[in-house]
Every structure is written in C-alpha cells, then in structure tokens.
Copies of this chain bind each other. A is one copy, B any other.
Amino acid sequence: MSMSIAVAGASGYAGGEILRLLLGHPRVASGEVTIGALTAGGNAGTLLGAHQPHLFPLADRVLADTTAEVLAGHDVVFLALPHGTSGPIADALPPSTLVIDCGADFRLSDAQEWTRFYGTPHAGTWPYGLPEIPGNRDVLSGATRIAVPGCYPTVSILSLLPAVTARVVESAVTVVAVSGTSGAGRSTRIDLLASEVIGSARAYGVAGAHRHNPEIAQALSAAAGEPVSVSFTPVLVPMARGILATCTARTSATADEVRAIYEKAYGDEPFVHLLPDDRLPTTGSVIGSNSAALSVSVDERAQTLVVVGAIDNLTKGTGGAAVQSMNLAMGFAENEGLSTVGVAP
C-alpha cells in the first residue's frame, strides 16, 4: 500500500517547492508514495495550475481548504502556512502522522523569545530539521514532528557552526545576508512589487528586529555552550531565489586552522560544499538544489573570520530541508529526490 503525502499551503512558494521536489522524488515516480490532498487558504477551490504554472503534472488538482479534516489520513503532512497557524492543525493530527512544519511555530525553545518576536503564545518546540547539526540526524530519524529551519538561520548556522563550536571566534557574530524575494512569500505587499525590487537593494528588519535573529542565536549558543550575540541584517536584492550570507566574527585563528575545522565538520556532508580557497560561493550555483556552498577566509589584518554561505532559500532553506527531514524521519536515503546540482546560469 502506498504512502500518502498532503501539502498545506500548496499555492504558496514553499508549498510549490515541496511539490516540485516530490514530483521528482523516486518514491513518487515509482508509485510507492502518492501526493494526496493539496490545500490552501484563500485559493481553496481553484486549480493548482492557476498558481503553480510550472507543476504541469498537478495542474488540474483542485485546492482543498486547509483543515485538519482534509489533512488527516495522510502519512506525511507538510505545513507551508503563515507563521502562527500551524499549532492548532498539528494538534488535531494523529501523533503517528509525520508533520513537517515549514513555519516558525515550533523552532524556538525559549517561549519568551517566541512571544517577543512573534507576539503570540509559544506553541512548543519540535526537532529542528537541520540534519547538519551534529546529533540531529539521530533526533530526526523516526521523528513524527519536525520544524524546518528558517532560510536565513539555515545558511547562517551552516556558515558559523563549526567555528562557534570550536570556539575559535568571539561570541559575537555579524551576519549580513542578501536574499531574493521569494523568502517573503507570495504576499501582495507594495514593497515586494517588481517595480520596487528591480534595480534596488534595501535592508530591512535591522538592528535585531528580524524574527530569524533568535533562531540563529539559539543554534549558535547551543553549539558554543554560552550565549552568542548575533548582529543580523537581511538585505533584499533583485532576484527571486537565493541567499548569500556574509558571516564575520573576530578570531585569532589562522586561515589554515579554520579551514581544517570546516573540512572536518563538513567533509562527509552530502549537501554542504566547502569551496577551494580560490573560489567564492554564488547563489546562482545552488538554485533549485539542496546544496549549501561555503567559503572560509581569515582577514588577518582585521583579525576576522569571513565565511560566505550560499543556499537556495526555497530548497535547502525550506522545501529541500523539509524533504530531507522527511527522508530521515521515514528511513529513506537522506538525499532521495534532492539534487546537489542546481540550475545555472
């Protein structure tokens, strides 16, 4: 009997990305896994093809309402919903159902931090779907509730974790991350209009205001074993996908020492690519793939570690991490349906 998957929020960007990846998943191709209910909020009742014109095989699927009733009965449920809305739905689904939440609701362990940044009561904390954090694969294996990390946290944590864990940097890090617009979702906001974005770069959520701030700090602090202060600035630039994070921290280590730490940390990781010394990451090289590309340098004059990390915010930063987490939870090979090879140029 085949396993079935439902996707809530199928008309949005995260939902669309999950479906794109599932359509290329070998267990879907083989029929072992089927794509079941596709749900939406305001778009319920319309055809998926009207919203996701690239998903030709599912073009004629009618979007159902996002309710626990519709989602129940599936083996796996992906939630790609606005922040703060996953809690009640997850509560209503059987504990045995694998629920993978792409929203922020279950990422933070500190209820106060949640409320400070999101303004609502804390829903809880689920296993964190970033398998590259040491120990996390064990946690995710067989899990039935998984919180997919935010896109900025994913690249920031991957970029800084080895250095912070090895304590070769001060416990104050600076991340400036440029991002494409799809990270903001399919929302009709004036500042996301093409006319506003094309030909322009702008920072937002500066000075600690962005909601991904506590998520980055949480992971880095856990790794350091002490509070790590994070200065995080996101910058919106004219592209649809991709995040490039420039991560700096004071260090007295040499470039060779740091490189050795990163090589050890990521040598066996299938999706993290530590680039040779003469290359720097581009978001263009990871679009559509589950890859993270990293460069590691030390500015000796400024005694600063500079790690540049690139991911596709919708793939490794959302949908790819969701599928990677599902693979681990279900006991599939971790990279099934996930490519290291993006679409370039």
Report which A residues bind B (CB closer than 8 A): 13, 16, 20, 23-24, 49-50, 52-57, 172, 174, 176, 178, 180-182, 184, 186-190, 192-204, 206-208, 229-231, 233, 235, 237-242, 244, 246, 248, 250, 273, 276, 279-289, 291, 293, 295, 297-304, 306, 308, 310, 339-345
Contacts and interface: CB of A to CB of B under 8 A. Distances in A.
B285 A229 contact: no
B345 A284 contact: no
Contacts of A300: 207-208
Nearest to A243: B201
A239 B200 CA distance: 7
A174 B196 CA distance: 28
Given A172-B302, A239-B198, A344-B53, A233 B207 contact: no
Given A24-B341, A53-B344, A56-B291, A280 B200 contact: no
A71 to B, nearest CB: 23
B345 A195 contact: yes
Nearest to A23: B341
A228 to B, nearest CB: 10
B199 A229 contact: no
B200 A341 contact: no
B286 A207 contact: no
A343 B319 CA distance: 12
A293 B53 contact: yes
Contact of A201 (B20, B206, B233, B237): B237
A181 B198 contact: yes
Contacts of A233: 176, 246, 248, 306, 308
Given A194-B240, A200-B282, A280-B203, A13 B306 contact: no
A208 to B, nearest CB: 4
